[in-house]
Structure 1
Amino acid sequence: MLLSCTDVRKTFGATVVLDNLSLDVDEHEVVALIGASGSGKSTLLRCVNLLTEIDDGVVRLDGEDITDPRVDPDAVRQKIGLVFQSYNLFPHMTVLDNITLAPVRVHKRPAREARDQAMEWLSRVGLADKSGSYPDRLSGGQQQRVAIVRALVNSPRLLLLDEVTSALDPELVGEVLTMIRDLKGEGMTMVLATHEMGFARQVADRVAFLDKGRVLEQGPPDQVLGDPVEARTRQFLARIIEAGRL
Structure 2
Amino acid sequence: MALLRCRGLRKEFAGQVVLDRLDLTVDEHRVVALIGASGSGKSTLLRCVNLLEEVDDGTIELDGEDISDPRVDADRVRRRIGMVFQAYNLFPHLSVLDNITLAPRRVHRRARAEAEAQARDLLDRVGLGAKAHAFPDGLSGGQQQRVAIVRALANSPRLMLLDEVTSALDPELVGEVLTMIRDLKADGMTMVLATHEMGFAREVADEVCFLDAGRVVESGPPEQVLGEPTQARTRQFLRRIIEAGRL
User: Which TM-score band applies after superposition, normalised by the shorter structure?
Assistant: over 0.9
Per the alignment, in what secondary structure is the counterpart of residue 32 of structure 1?
strand
Q: Deviations over 1:63-100 (max 9, x none)?
A: 00011122111111111100001100011110011111
Q: What does residue 233 of structure 2 align with?
A: 232
Per the alignment, in what secondary structure is the counterpart of residue 58 of structure 1?
strand
Identity within the alignment, %: 76
Aligned residues: 246
1:179-190 alignment runs, 5 A limit: 179-190=180-191
Q: Deviations over 1:82-122 (max 9, x none)?
A: 00011000111100111111121223222222111111111
- Give, as a single letter, the amino acid of the residue that structure 2 aligns with 1:181: R
Tell me the distance in 2 between the aligned counterparts of 1:105 and 1:231: 50
- Give, as a single letter, the amino acid of the residue that structure 2 aligns with 1:214: R
Tell me the distance in 2 between the aligned counterparts of 1:116 and 1:58: 38
- Contact residue 29 and residue 189 of structure 2 kept, 8 A: yes
Deviation at 1:192, TM superposition (A): 0.2
Deviation at 1:157, TM superposition (A): 0.5
- 1:155 equivalent in alignment to 2:156: yes
Tell me the distance in 1 between the aligned counterparts of 2:206 and 2:135: 36
- Give, as a single letter, the amino acid of the residue that structure 1 aligns with 2:80: K
- Unpaired segments ≥5 residues, structure 2: none
Q: What does residue 197 of structure 1 align with?
A: 198
- Give, as a single letter, the amino acid of the residue that structure 2 aligns with 1:150: R
Q: What does residue 7 of structure 1 align with?
A: 8
Per the alignment, in what secondary structure is the counterpart of residue 209 of structure 2?
strand
Q: What does residue 100 of structure 1 align with?
A: 101
CA RMSD, Structure 1 to Structure 2 (Å): 0.7
Tell me the distance in 2 between the aligned counterparts of 1:150 and 1:55: 30
- 1:122 equivalent in alignment to 2:123: yes
TM-score (normalizing by structure 2): 0.98
Per the alignment, in what secondary structure is the counterpart of residue 2 of structure 1?
strand
Q: What does residue 47 of structure 1 align with?
A: 48
Q: What does residue 77 of structure 2 align with?
A: 76
Q: Deviations over 1:30-60 (max 9, x none)?
A: 0000000000000000000011111110000
- Contact residue 103 and residue 155 of structure 2 kept, 8 A: no
Say which is worse superposed, 102-111 or 117-126, in terms of deviation: 102-111
Q: What does residue 167 of structure 1 align with?
A: 168
Tell me the distance in 2 between the aligned counterparts of 1:233 and 1:25: 21
Deviation at 1:180, TM superposition (A): 0.2
Tell me the distance in 2 between the aligned counterparts of 1:215 and 1:189: 19
Tell me the distance in 1 between the aligned counterparts of 2:188 and 2:24: 20
Tell me the distance in 2 between the aligned counterparts of 1:108 and 1:69: 26
Tell me the distance in 2 between the aligned counterparts of 1:192 and 1:208: 10
- Unpaired segments ≥5 residues, structure 1: none
